[in-house]
Each structure stands twice: as structure tokens, then as C-alpha cells.
Amino acid sequence: MVHTRAQLEEMSKEQLINELVDNSNVIQHSLESLNSKMDRITSDLAISRRITDLLRERVNQLERDQLSSSQYIRREMLEVGPILESIPETEVENVVAKAVSLCGPDISPSDLDSCHRLK
């Protein structure tokens, strides 16, 4: 309870001591409650950090897996270009086969699984 100066001067020593003890108990109870809440928050934060670390680790692993998978898929892929737009789609495989043959092994259009123009 809040008292004015005049009220405090009228109180006996015993009343003042009781008032101080009561106020001290209220403060102690509030401090214990705050400490309990702080412990829960600290615990929740530790759990959240652990979950974040696990998720970050999982994302890193998924990125590595995706890169590995992408590399595996592209293991037989060759990018040749640019292929002029004026070349008909039906002739793209022939042009690619001729271009690759100029650089290395002889290949024919039948050696190609597919050809796509890149945009």
C-alpha cells in the first residue's frame, strides 16, 4: 500500500516494520514469478535454437542432395549454342550433331536423345 509522508509519520515503528515486511514479501513473490517466467523463456529459447539448428542442417543436406541429383541428371547433357532461330526445329539435331563432330567424336542425330532450344 502507498502511504503519504504524513501517514508514515503517524505510524508506529511496529506498523512501519510490518508494512516493510509486507512490501518485501510482495517484491519477493514478484521476483520469484519473474525468475520462473525467465526460466521458461530460456528453456523455450534453447529448444527453438536446437530446432533451428536441425532445420538449418536439414536444408543444407537437401541443398547438397539437390545439387548431386542435378549433376547426375546432367551427366550426359551437353549445351551447344546458340542455334539460330532461322534453322527449322526438324534440323536442330542435325546441326548439333555436325557442331559436336567438328569438336570431337563423330556423332549422328540418332546418338542424341533430345535437342532443345534454350531461351
DSSP string, 18-65: HHHHHHHHHHHHHHHHHHHHHHHHHHHHHHHHHHHHHHHHHHHHHHHH
Query: Quick one: CA torsion of 71, 113, 83, 86, rounded to 10 degrees?
Result: -150
Amino acid of residue 77: M
How far is it, in rounded angstroms, from Cα 36 to Cα 32?
6
| pLDDT-derived band at 117, boundaries 50, 70, 90 | confident
pLDDT above 70: residue 119: no
pLDDT above 70: residue 24: yes
On average, the pLDDT of the chain sits at 87
Question: According to the model, what pLDDT value does residue 76 have?
Answer: 73
pTM above 0.75, yes or no: no
Q: Please report, for the chain, the start and end positions of each structural domain, with discontinuous segments joined by +.
A: 1-77, 78-112
Q: Report the SS3 class of residue 100.
A: helix
pLDDT above 70: residue 107: yes
| pLDDT-derived band at 58, boundaries 50, 70, 90 | very high
pLDDT above 80: residue 77: no
